[in-house]
Amino acid sequence: MSNPISGFSKLSKTQKIAWLSKNYFKENTQATHVLQRYWNSDTALQKLHDDFIENTVSNYYLPLGIAPNFLVNNDLYAIPMVIEESSVVAAASNAAKFWLDKGGFTTNVISTTKNGQVHINFFGDTKDMTAFFSVVKPILIASISQVEKNMKKRGGGLLDIQLIDSTNSLKGFYQLHCTFETLDAMGANFINTCLEKFAQTIEREAKKFKAFISSQTYPEVVMSILSNYTPECVVRASVSCHVDLLTQKDMEGYVFAQKIVRAIAIAKATPRRAVTHNKGIMNGIDAVILATGNDFRAVEAAVHAYASKDGQYSSLTHGSIENDIFTMWIEIPLALGTVGGLTSLHPLVGFAFDLLQKPNATKLMQLVAVAGLAQNFAALRSLVTTGIQKGHMKMHLMNILNGIQATDTEKASAVDHFTAKQISHSAVISFVEQLRA
Ligand code: MEV
């Protein structure tokens, strides 16, 4: 085990790697070599990446793939996806192609309100707190006039502040629940700055409020932070067609449609299936979120909380057959930004935005929702017909071959051989061993 180090962040990148090598790799040069192999020879680009976080020692690559042929509200998109899982981009592309001649995807943004809270302790009389809030509310609003000036000019800003008495859930707990419109910004910085201003204002004004002075009981701010749960920032995407158009190789369209609807019902009925069902949706969503430089942790947290909004963790997608029309849709909260954060810094994010025709935040919400719906349709389509392993292993074949350092000729023979055969890890290895023998 190594000794603790202080001042690690002050070391140069080379010194940091030397320290790692000495303390964790017995000075073995292999580890250093791996880290250095991923340095970018363009020093300006490397510096940009170094500065994204603290203690950068190298870059961690993930593939950027493209899923073309997405018809969304009659416009055609090629969607950028950053993901390591072999079959995700292929599945998205298949789903896009499948729906291309059936009207494509239809989307609409239901709402775009973000929110944050100032969490407050107050152990006095609720009536005093309510009276204080009605006095302080206009002062709170005025206190952020400078902060929200630019946002307001563009049509956004603070929407409202409410006092929420949460003393039934936790003794002495009140919240200032604040709602915002942050337009094309994800809004975290803007919201947190406003909330911290509110917190200072609350504490300052409370000291002057007569009822608090006479009871000698003052509200105390515990913390101020945006909420990543954004159930008022919601987008919907759907696909729909006559069941006859859904006919599969060995399955009638109506039967296939029923199976998809049933698969969704199963995800609604049991969290064990819902988690995997939604994981498949997030394969598509996270990949676009990463490609567009947005915060996938925030999106994941919001989406899964939303999946539980009715009291049980459930499917994020829905399906129906009415008068022989099959419809499948997704409704999810997505707080995204197309300005700020990484969006203007990372050159590949710039590429992704150009590819998507410079979307604003609401357009991006729609495209991300489409990617999630497409991914779910593709997964369910496989699951209720061939099973997922066939397509998944086909895409995974190259990883198995790379894992055993197969040559190009061996790879070509393997791809040829396994076109009509079942792929498994052991089958691929024994095939290549035979070739080598
Ligand atoms: C695999 O990454 C995703 C799936 O398991 C999703 C699902 O089961 O719906 C195929």
Per DSSP, helices labelled H in 101-209 are: 126-143, 149-153, 188-206
| Same fold yes or no, 64-111+234-386 and 114-226 | no
Closest-CA residue, ligand 1 atom 3, reads 280
Query: How much distance in Å is there from the Cα of 190 to the middle of ligand 1?
Result: 36
Closest-CA residue, ligand 1 atom 9, reads 277
- Domain ranges for the chain: 8-50, 64-111+234-386, 114-226, 392-436
For ligand 1, whether the C-beta of 389 sits within 6 Å is no
**pTM of the predicted structure, to 2 decimals:** 0.93
For ligand 1, whether the C-beta of 87 sits within 6 Å is no
C-alpha closest to that of 344 among 46, 42, 48: 48
For the segment(s) 64-111+234-386, the CATH number from 3.90.770.10, 1.10.3470.10, 3.30.365.10, 3.65.10.10 is 3.90.770.10
Dihedral sign from CA coordinates of 264, 270, 271, 275 = negative
The encoded tokens of residue 200 equal 């200072």
Name the fold adopted by 114-226. Alpha-Beta Plaits (3.30.70)
Query: How much distance in Å is there from the Cα of 280 to the middle of ligand 1?
Result: 4
How far is it between the farthest Cα atoms of the chain?
Answer: 92
**137-153 as b/e, with b when 16 or more CB fall inside 10 Å?**
eeebbebbeebbeebee
The encoded tokens of residue 300 equal 């994941």
Active site residues: 85, 279, 295, 392
Using CA atoms, how far residue 304 sits from 121, 265, 299, in Å, is 29, 18, 9
Closest-CA residue, ligand 1 atom 6, reads 280
For ligand 1, whether the C-beta of 388 sits within 6 Å is yes
Per-residue pLDDT of the chain (437 residues; tens, 9 = 90+): 678 999 999 999 999 999 999 999 998 899 999 999 999 999 999 999 999 999 999 999 999 999 999 999 999 999 999 999 989 999 999 999 999 999 999 999 999 999 999 999 999 999 999 999 999 999 999 999 999 999 999 999 999 999 999 999 999 999 999 999 999 999 999 999 999 999 999 999 999 999 999 999 999 999 999 999 999 999 999 999 999 999 999 899 999 999 999 999 999 999 999 999 999 999 999 999 999 999 999 999 999 999 999 999 999 999 999 999 999 999 999 999 999 888 889 999 999 999 999 999 999 999 999 999 999 999 999 999 988 887 778 888 888 999 999 999 999 999 999 988 889 999 999 999 999 99
For ligand 1, whether the C-beta of 109 sits within 6 Å is no
Closest-CA residue, ligand 1 atom 2, reads 280
Torsion of CA 49, 54, 57, 60, to 10 degrees: -50
Query: How much distance in Å is there from the Cα of 202 to the middle of ligand 1?
Result: 48
